Amino acid sequence: MASPTKKTKKKSAKRAPSKRTSPARTNPAKASAASGNPAKVRPATARDWIAGARLRTLSLAVAPVALGTAIAYNTLGYNLAIALLCLAVAVFLQVGVNFANDYSDGVRGTDRYRVGPSRLTGSGAAKPRTVLTVALVFFGLGAAAGLAVVVLTGIWWLLAVGAVALIAAWFYTGGKRPYGYAGLGELVAFVFFGLVATAGTTFVQIEQVPLEAWLAGIIAGLFAAAILLVNNIRDREQDALVAKRTLAVRLGDLPARILFSVLLASAYGVLVPFALLFQWAPAVYGTLLISAPVILIVLLARTAGELVLALKLTSLAALLTGLGLAAAIAF
């Protein structure tokens, strides 16, 4: 007859497998995702919303407006109220694009393989409808500022330009066939955050667009395209998994990195005429102290962290180049 001690050991041995800790218990985040319980996802804080606005990309908005205003001032004179409204249009649209991108990529499931900073929608920290609403609010603010420019200038056909800008902002990643998923993002960034923003800022203040405005717009556009490209190089492998065929995905890793280098180098090439015409413009080449290392980082980077650093430095170089050139033109 078996002793009570042995029976207890046998029962204990049978129960042992049921006491194993499940993966869900060891990882609450996975448990929440598996159960679909949004209560376990940390809600977005004010810091998360500020991060979602991606303030480092605002160099794309500030630089072309500063350049356009400086050229207007140097040509016939500037209008401070209109210049500030142009800045408001550019900033609000840029922030709106960032939140719209967060929303669209999140609801498509594109961000599930994301290696960069987490997104509000994709992480579940904010409801998709809330992120969409915030994006639309910023688009609305940009539209209101643009309407004010139209009223002050009396140039009513600019409403059509504004409508096209809003459409471009939304369909970057929104809609059934977003152009950002077809490799056209860099081209549109070059046009709208380069040529349109710079030449448009000059035009609404003096109703003409000198050659310098187009050249400055090319510089701003090349930086804008480079910023978007390095961001897409970072996400290239993950984007390919979800059929997001950005320019980096279409070109491949090394060609995309080379193109980034060409874009930055070309911006400094277009700077040459300004260096010949304006006394202080050669000093703008000082921003090569940032851009040259960035090119090396992008060409040699092996981790997402290195490419994030390159993105930040490229944004800084774009801002300093734009503001520095604007100051050289104006003074």
Mean pLDDT of 152-169: 94
What is the structure's pLDDT at 3?
46
φ and ψ of 27, to 5 deg: -130, 90
HEC readout, the chain: CCCHHHHHHHHHHHHHHHHCCCHHHHCHHHHHHHHCCHHHCCCCCHHHHHHHHCHHHHHHHHHHHHHHHHHHHHHCCCCHHHHHHHHHHHHHHHHHHHHHHHHHHHHHCHHHHCCCCCCHHHHCCCCHHHHHHHHHHHHHHHHHHHHHHHHHHCCCCHHHHHHHHHHHHHCCCCCCCCHHHHCCHHHHHHHHHHHHHHHHHHHHHHCCCCHHHHHHHHHHHHHHHHHHHHHHHHCHHHHHHCCCCCHHHHHCHHHHHHHHHHHHHHHHHHCHHHHHHCCCHHHHHHHHHHHHHHHHHHHHCCCHHHHHHHHHHHHHHHHHHHHHHHHHHHC
What is the structure's pLDDT at 13?
42
Q: Which of these ranges, 37-51, 171-185, 211-225, has the smallest mean pLDDT?
A: 37-51
Count of beta carbons in the 10 Å neighbourhood of residue 113: 15
What is the structure's pLDDT at 29?
38
Nearest to 198 by CA among 31, 314, 71: 71
User: Which of the four pLDDT bands, split at 50, 70 and 90, describes residue 157?
Assistant: very high
Would the pLDDT of 15 be above 80?
no
What is the structure's pLDDT at 72?
97
Nearest-5° Cα angle at 71, 319 to 68: 50
Torsion of CA 186, 188, 190, 191, to 10 degrees: 170
pTM metric for this prediction: 0.84
Q: 301-328 burial, b if ≥16 CB within 10 A, otherwise e?
A: beebeebbbbbebbbbbbbbbbbbbbbb
Percent of the chain's residues with pLDDT above 90: 72
Would the pLDDT of 6 be above 80?
no
What is the structure's pLDDT at 23?
35
